[in-house]
Structure 1
């Protein structure tokens, strides 16, 4: 059937159908590749087969995801703006590149330079764009379009209704990409270069997590060959959070990015124990790095006896003073303990070879290696620079008061040393009940012994909750690469929460990183963020409150109740709306609420589990709510959330987190009195 010439929507649908067909042909071309005669051995064949498999996955056409979401009509051909008579071109902007059988582009990757004006162009700076067209979709079907004539002075600038609708669209299931709605200030961060590190301070709903993930996708596009060698990593606060975001990068065609928690990175031992706040605070302090360094290098003994090497009928003697010089030189070089230990026998062997040469012999490298393996040299190395197991080193520090006191002298007070000493010392590494903070100490000690491999780029999300020692653990993974740090100081809920980004970046090893702040709220409704912002003067008075730019104010209600049954009723009301619902409560309240939901016949999921049309309610402990979003939230007993933390400040920060998880509506239910900080009107006098 022919397409009417004067029907733009039909023409765009035809282009969508043709683009999907072209993408299908691209995938079929890859699937049909015959590699039987192009590989030298089975190893190469396996590697190539895996690469082809990954390429096929990257070319998947997701039926419910738009293949393109915008179009740019240039006034001139890109790169030829000054050429007289140069005709403009049209480009469809989408999640990945699609070309036809002749190799001509049908969809341009959103990360390509030619796509940048889709996010940056404005009436003030049209960037040579005549028309920017946005498309509206229902599922995978193109249903609407909206035009902006950026270079037409007669047309006034107006807010995009389609853009606003996409931002406010109900969310079901895991986090999705925001590639169609990236804002100029977000795009600037996304397209920042690989060489520099960035820190993004962003309040709830500002899109900092999405910005970080899209930055990874952009860097993989712009520096694919380099990052393919060095690797990329996304670090989140917990497994629920990682499960929530895990589909964003694959939807953009990026399948090779690893995801982990800090606990995964430092998993040298099995964690079976916990620390109280006082112990965790000391163990997470950056001073512990120096304590560990002192304890490790205390194993090095200045030699007082010579080394005598017997080879055949000759005896070669390296005097003690020469050995001392070698040891001092290795210590002064500041190389890793293990690397210095490996270098020591070679240095001793070299001293022997010098004597051999002076006596007229002509030894070569094989002789030096043989001398380095000589039993006398091995015995000397064992005595001077013994091997040290990092876990055993930490075990001794936490178990031996004298050993800890010796190496923490001038660094930790007596009270701090008592806080971290085990009351019941473990007999072995395997029997020890290591805590999460202990695992970080072992990772630090491991790095002192042997350098941790560095990746090309690391994204660290929800960074505000990391201790200085955890920052150091992450920093070790990108010493020769760069980092994107994402967080919100107001949402720090650990006793060691980050106080300032410059301080955190120094611990990370990236003091030169640029700090950017996102203050425009795209996800949290105006009334909700205004209510939550009542807490800011008490938890982060120096931060700029988030200003919601949503047109829809959202649903908001504070409801006094008498029992749990009314919380269940509030959940039922929320489930009548489209989208997901989260019931968030203090951790101690979760069993009671779970029992009430079950008794009422309402199914529910745990944090990070994917919702379905039949099960759209998630029961969320307050401690796991950070980073998650739901269309509707029922927040149970704010006072219990505050009281569930070690101190009021931390409790109010936890409450701030839970109040800002709603995308479309929030119902606060309470039988106990609300925290007084919530009953105080905001400074600007707004009635919320």
Structure 2
């Protein structure tokens, strides 16, 4: 066996090489599996092969993604509960790479996935394992039996540096990790990446929360709430894989651009089975081809519509007018009207799903007939009851009293028939509200209707009133502040028997129906008992930029805590008054493109065509939100309406007053501006020819403004 390198960095590089070799061997072992003799039929073979293929994907070695990012040296061997899935490193490659620590508590390399050698001894421990937790939470005040925590720095996929924290050394002052800071500030090029190497203690507490409880995370820009939600899914899949494999997991984002931006995070952590969707995807019972006026959308999104729909649906049930006569052989059995009515009223009182009650009705009627048969001396069994339930007279009676209802047709009638709407909205919606949601001309069929996004949510509510929606094990709902009460209900019924992680920022609510409080939102979700956590430490947006944007908070979210950024970046904010916006935008983008990283040119939606034309005329290539940047194309032209949830190293913001004016009211406009101002990771340039909104002119600008720029 070769002697271990004497240089500490060389030893760590050797362990990385050995770990990559071990991961490759693990993958090859799976690829070499022969299932021909272990499956009894082709269906089992396909299922097993699919599982093998997924395992092979999960064992992929991503060359530019560090296999491990830290190391823990424990003073004592961890207990059995803590060390679950992670034995103390020993044997072959691990021993030769480490060369020490066997007489102490052992060394654990913390990474994105578990890797073991040919003998089954772990070489890298999954970051989600209990033994990994001190990597995120240990400190000098609470070392958690960790003597040394080592962080690794990478260039590409090569290990190039390390940094040690001696947690039990009282003479060494606690310092901010330079490698941690560099990783947080690393340029953003391409889709969102995981933060598994930089999770902070307050984030880790949320990530490792139990599956049974729901949590709501209020977090300002740059606090990492989206990353926390995604890493929580990865953790729950690790801790409760069998259960979630049965029930399913779902991540819900605000739009397709956002989902494309985050789609690589979970695969990078080895999780490939998590579905991602928008609320529109969930309620896609009909094709959405129309739009609503804001006042109509607000009413349709109001939770009162759920009761309107319930009343309208139940109105289809009518009381029987005649008895049922069932003929079997030479005998006739009669269910009188009063007994029939009692059965119908009892089912209505139980408040069952409409479809479930309709299915139960013939069985209840058949049971009434069987009681008569038994009284006459017969001994009918279940087969007789099923036969009676299928009797033509019973089926005809059920059809007349409890007819089938199509959810789309129900909503079509409700929005197209003023009398029908008035009957079922009485005491719930005012005449003005009813008039706002009524179609000027009702379409004849659901297929001919120009349904809006809010209509689709109503149809989904109606569909759930007819038949229960399938519930998942865990749902992550991001940018939740923008959902209407009816959209919350649509999400909530998909996790009635599971839990939910709600992520959002009340200050970034930009829809007319944006939620005023998390308590109200959680009530609509059906998760009033969820714990609300607040993240106030910012890691992405520079201190100067977030301080400037936070001037808007008193106007858009009074009482909400301001984000306190840990990153001070002098010169990161520049506010410039210009005469020619298009020319200034081109110049600012060219200036930013001389830096490393991604650039976002954000503008009011109606300004985007003019800026696109200016960029094209200047020969500057650019992307649309959601398209992946390349070394040659790092500039994205972003309509302000799509900026939420995205981030760029450098942002050029075009005409703040236009962003505000594009919204139906000033408060919503200022919230949209708050979103746009907080998308920058390294630098923000604000360009304006019109006066800035008053709240941004209410105090002197920070002294860190580049080049003495002033509005």
Give the TM-score band, short-chain normalised: over 0.9
Contact 1:80 1:86 in 2 (8 A): no
Q: Give yes or no for contact 1:190–1:215 (8 Å, CA) kept in 2.
A: yes
* Residue in structure 1 matched with residue 335 of structure 2 by the alignment: 318
Q: 1:474 aligns with which of 482, 488, 491?
A: 491
Corresponding residue to 1:124 among 141, 147, 159: 141
Partner of 2:597: 579
1:164 matched to 2:209:
no
Indicate the residue corresponding to 1:141 in structure 2: 158
> Could you say which residue in structure 1 is the equivalent of 2:377?
360
Shift, 1:551, TM fit: 4.0
Of the three residues 624, 629, 640, the one matched with 1:611 is 629
Name the residue aligned to 1:639. 657
Instruction: Answer whether contact 1:77 1:86 (CA < 8 A) is retained.
Output: no
Q: CA deviation at 1:673?
A: 1.4
Matches within 5 A, 1:218-617: 218-553=235-570, 555-563=572-580, 564-617=582-635
* 1:45 is the counterpart of 2:63: no
Residue by residue, what CA displacement relative to the aligned partner does 1:627-656 show, whole Å, maximum 9, x if unpaired?
Answer: 000000000010100000000000000000
Give 3-state SS (helix, strand or coil) of 1:96's partner. Answer: coil
Maintained 8 Å contact 2:572/2:704: no
User: Following the alignment from structure 1 to structure 2, what is the Cα–Cα distance between the partners of residues 265 and 284?
Assistant: 16
The runs of at least 4 aligned residues of structure 1 exceeding 3 Å deviation read 1-6, 551-554, 682-688
**1:168-227 alpha-carbon deviations (Å, 9 max, x no partner):** 111100000000000000000000000000000000000000000000000000000000
Q: Is the 8 A contact 1:533 1:682 kept in 2?
A: no
Distance, in Å, in 1 between the alignment partners of 2:81 and 2:448 is 71
Structure 1 unaligned segments of length 5 or more: list them: none
Query: Is the contact made by 1:349 and 1:368 (CA closer than 8 Å) also made in structure 2?
Result: yes
**Per-residue deviation at 1:87?**
3.2
Q: TM-score, normalised by structure 1?
A: 0.98
Counterpart position of 2:60: 60
Query: Which of 169, 177, 188 is matched with 1:152 structurally?
Result: 169
C-alpha separation in 1, matches of 2:504 and 2:80:
41
Instruction: Work out whether residues 534 and 682 of structure 1, in 8 Å CA contact, stay in contact via their aligned partners in 2.
Output: no
The Cα offsets for residues 222-246 of structure 1, whole Å up to 9 and x where unpaired, read as 0000000000000000000000000
Contact 1:203–1:545, Cα closer than 8 Å, also in 2: yes
**What CA deviation, in whole Å up to 9, does each residue of 1:276-322 have, x standing for no partner?**
11000000000000000000000111112110111111110000111
- 1:179 pairs with 2:196: yes
- CA separation of 1:171/1:444 partners in 2, compared to 1, >3 Å: closer, same or farther? same
Structure 1 residue 541, shift from structure 2 partner = 1.2
Q: Which position in structure 2 is the counterpart of 1:199?
A: 216
Decide whether the 8 Å contact of 2:600 with 2:636 is kept in 1: yes
For the residue of structure 2 that corresponds to 1:607, the secondary structure is coil
**Residue 155 of structure 1: how far off its partner (Å):** 1.7
Q: Partners in 2 of 1:282 and 1:86 — Cα distance?
A: 69
What SS class does the counterpart of residue 338 from structure 1 fall into?
A: helix
- SS of the equivalent of 1:477 reads coil
The equivalences for 1:74-153 within 5 A come to 74-79=74-79, 87-153=104-170
- Label 1:383 to 1:655 Cα distance change in 2 as closer, same or farther (>3 A): same
Query: Quick check: 17-26 or 367-376, which moved more?
Result: 367-376
CA 1:332–1:101 in 2, change beyond 3 Å: closer, same or farther? Answer: same
- Could you tell me how far apart the structure 2 residues matched to 1:153 and 1:294 are? 69
Indicate the residue corresponding to 1:620 in structure 2. Answer: 638
- Give the superposition deviation at 1:683: 12
Partner of 1:63: helix, strand, or coil? coil
Between the aligned partners of 1:436 and 1:553, the Cα distance in structure 2 is: 44
Work out whether residues 366 and 386 of structure 2, in 8 Å CA contact, stay in contact via their aligned partners in 1: yes
- Structure 1 counterpart SS, 2:494: helix
In 1, Cα distance between the equivalents of 2:413 and 2:55? 50
1:66-106 Cα distance to aligned partner (Å, 9 max, x none) = 00000000000001899xx9831100000000000000000
Does 2:33 align with 1:16? no
- Residues 324 and 393 of structure 2 are in contact (CA less than 8 Å); yes or no, is this contact kept in structure 1? yes
Aligned to 2:227: 210
Computed over aligned residues only, the root mean square deviation of the Cα atoms, in angstroms, reads 1.7
CA distance in 2, matches of 1:287, 1:323: 32
Q: How many residues align?
A: 686
TM-superposed CA distance for 1:680, in Å, is: 1.1
Structure 2 unaligned spans of 5+: 83-101, 706-710
Q: 1:653: which partner in 2?
A: 671
Task: Say which SS state the counterpart of residue 448 (structure 2) adopts.
Answer: coil
Q: Which residue in 1 is equivalent to 2:86?
A: none
The CA distance in 2 between the partners of 1:596 and 1:156, in whole Å, is 53
Where 2:493 maps in the other structure, the secondary structure is helix
Give the drift of 1:516. Answer: 0.2
Note if contact 1:302-1:324 (Cα within 8 Å) is conserved in structure 2: yes
How far does residue 553 in structure 1 lie from its aligned partner after superposition? 4.2
- Give yes or no for contact 1:213–1:248 (8 Å, CA) kept in 2: yes
Give distance in 2, aligned partners of 1:423 and 1:338: 31
Does the 8 Å CA contact 2:143/2:168 hold for their aligned counterparts?
yes
| Residues 550-559 or 16-25, more deviating | 550-559
Deviations 1:381-426 (A, max 9, x none): 0111000000000000000000000000000000000000001111
